[in-house]
């Protein structure tokens, strides 16, 4: 462990872009790696990132590293998550719907599950997990050779622990959820009080690079799951990144959202099947000066957090490129759910600082999720649709592609299994394992198509949905809504009254799935 990390881990006794990176055996010395037939895997996940929040999906926010991956890879327009942090992460780790592994209601212990750390370890991979987990289990005990990160949910970016001598005041913490637990392999820090130069997005990248560096002479390939918290609240970012966005959002909600949608159409990301949904944000002209200033600051800091996230993804790309491994690296980037309309207000001081925990709120979340309706927690597209970029030049024949295939996080485990040559077990820890729910995406990367035999299902909070190639049936609380996915992927025209037979058929399918998987209505 290097001296900087030793300080971060030991000094204070008060103790996921979804990027799947398939390198050519990055666990070997650089001179030998190109001889390895098996790729390494790096999986990067963002947190609460809106559909239009990066440049490759229409944003004004500077994300040159992600944009570069899109220019040389494939952008998928129809990748879906569960609409909520911890169930989405459970699906990624296990290849199962969250309801099947005990992670659909609260972030507790996994049940009847196997994580991809264990699966790939069985194929002689070194497996590393860094960042946010959001469970009460320690991934180190589930097959990962290393887990360094936030075992729990969101934490303060500058100081998730106790106040330090140089802090400007008490770090804003969520009472009732404090202290947040960090894990460093089999050691738990509760709380974790870091050195004063800590910033979560930067430090977690430091940890990932530190662990990768340990295996540069190891002949085994590796798998890195890098699970960031950004841009989930608290809205906190380094001052220099916040200053970059001074004045950018003065034009207000509608001008930013309209410009994003126009870019999405102009770049060919979206077509006529994606009409822009009706905006739900307030008219900017109706806000008083004080409210405008508050709203501008929130979006300015949120943009800075995404900018900083991209900078750190760039650090990882630089590491891979310097070692001559980037071209044979499968990079997948995604978010665990859509932008959040949740309201959190803790502490004092300016938004963006250590002593203040603030959130984005509904108006800017509507902009962030352009062109979709609703937000995190909803089974509508604003909650479940995520940017999804895949980069692998040695396999993807032509960069800059846009693919509209219907995808879900359940497809990630089958993809990792096929690419790595691993076997998904029938039994683990004395329990029988349900077969993987999804399909491998490898054919899409090779220019072929995939066939999905079953619909996609959703259930979180008051949201419910079922998706097929033709239809999406969705509801929040009581009434089902029906949308034609072939013409209206932004859910603007409810066809439930025109097609009651389709509603009944799909609702019956959803109920059958819910009963089989243990969802209580």
DSSP string, 330-352: -EEEEESS-------EEE-S-TB
Residue pair 338/366 in contact (Cβ under 8 Å)? The answer is: no
Q: In angstroms, rounded to a whole number, what is the distance separating the alpha carbons of residues 173 and 175?
A: 6
Please, what's the b/e burial string for 330-356 (b: 16 or more CB within 10 A of its CB; e: otherwise)? bbbbbbbbbbbbbebebbeeebbbbbb
26, 80, 85, 133: the catalytic one is: 85
- 80 labelled catalytic: no
By the 10 Å C-beta count (0-12 exposed, 13-18 middle, 19+ buried), 12 is classed as middle
- In 3-state terms, what secondary structure has residue 7? helix
Q: In angstroms, rounded to a whole number, what is the distance separating the alpha carbons of residues 370 and 264?
A: 9
Total Cβ atoms within 10 A of residue 78 = 17
Handedness of CA 425, 430, 436, 441 (dihedral sign): negative
Q: In angstroms, rounded to a whole number, what is the distance separating the alpha carbons of residues 410 and 415?
A: 10
- 10 labelled catalytic: no
Interacting residues of 303 by C-beta distance below 8 A, sequence separation 6+: 60, 61, 244, 245, 248, 249
Residue pair 352/243 in contact (Cβ under 8 Å)? The answer is: no
26, 80, 133, 134: the catalytic one is: 134
Which residues participate in catalysis according to the annotation? 85, 134
């Amino acid at each position: 462990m290097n001296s900087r990390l030793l300080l971060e881990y030991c000094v204070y006794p008060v103790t996921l872009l979804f990027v799947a990176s398939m390198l050519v055996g990055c666990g070997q010395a650089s001179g030998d790696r190109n001889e390895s037939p098996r790729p390494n895997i790096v999986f990067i996940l963002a947190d609460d990132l809106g559909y239009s929040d990066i440049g490759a999906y229409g944003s004004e926010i500077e994300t040159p590293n992600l944009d570069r991956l899109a220019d040389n890879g494939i952008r998928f327009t129809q990748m879906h998550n569960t609409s909520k942090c911890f169930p989405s992460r459970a699906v990624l780790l296990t290849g199962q719907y969250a309801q099947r592994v005990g992670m659909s209601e609260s972030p507790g212990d996994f049940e009847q599950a196997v994580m991809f750390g264990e699966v790939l370890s069985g194929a002689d991979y070194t497996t590393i997990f860094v960042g946010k987990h959001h469970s009460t289990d320690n991934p180190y005990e589930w097959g990962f050779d290393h887990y360094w990160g936030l075992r729990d949910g969101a934490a303060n970016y500058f100081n998730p622990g106790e106040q330090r001598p140089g802090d400007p005041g008490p770090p804003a913490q969520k009472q009732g959820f404090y202290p947040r637990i960090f894990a460093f392999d089999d050691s738990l820090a509760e709380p974790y009080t870091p050195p004063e130069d800590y910033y979560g997005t930067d430090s977690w990248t430091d940890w990932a690079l530190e662990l990768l560096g340990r295996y540069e002479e190891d002949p085994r390939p590796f798998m890195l799951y890098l699970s960031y918290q950004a841009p989930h609240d608290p809205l906190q970012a380094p001052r220099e990144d916040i200053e970059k966005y001074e004045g950018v959002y003065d034009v207000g909600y509608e001008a930013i959202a309209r410009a994003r949608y126009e870019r999405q159409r102009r770049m060919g990301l979206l077509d006529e099947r994606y009409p822009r949904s009706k905006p739900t944000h307030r008219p900017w002209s109706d806000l008083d000066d004080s409210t405008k200033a508050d709203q501008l600051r929130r979006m300015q800091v949120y943009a800075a957090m995404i900018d900083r996230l991209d900078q750190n993804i760039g650090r990882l790309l630089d590491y891979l490129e310097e070692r001559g491994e980037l071209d044979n690296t499968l990079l997948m980037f995604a978010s665990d759910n859509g932008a959040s309309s949740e309201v959190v207000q803790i502490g004092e001081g300016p938004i963006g600082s250590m002593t203040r925990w603030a959130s984005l709120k509904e108006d800017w979340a509507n902009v962030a999720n352009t062109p979709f309706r609703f937000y995190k927690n909803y089974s509508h597209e604003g909650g479940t649709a995520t940017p999804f970029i895949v980069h692998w030049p040695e396999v993807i024949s032509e960069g800059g592609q846009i693919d509209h295939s219907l995808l879900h996080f359940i497809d990630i485990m089958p993809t990792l299994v096929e690419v790595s040559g691993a076997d998904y077990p029938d039994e683990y820890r004395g329990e029988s394992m349900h077969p993987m729910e999804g399909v491998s995406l490898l054919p899409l990367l090779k220019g072929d198509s995939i066939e999905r035999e079953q619909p996609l299902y959703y259930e979180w909070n008051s949201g419910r949905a079922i998706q097929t190639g033709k239809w999406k049936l969705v509801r929040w609380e009581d009434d089902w809504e029906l949308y034609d996915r072939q013409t209206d992927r932004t859910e603007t025209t409810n066809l439930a009254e025109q097609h009651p037979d389709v509603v009944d058929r799909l609702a019956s399918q959803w109920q059958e799935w819910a009963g089989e998987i243990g969802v209580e209505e």
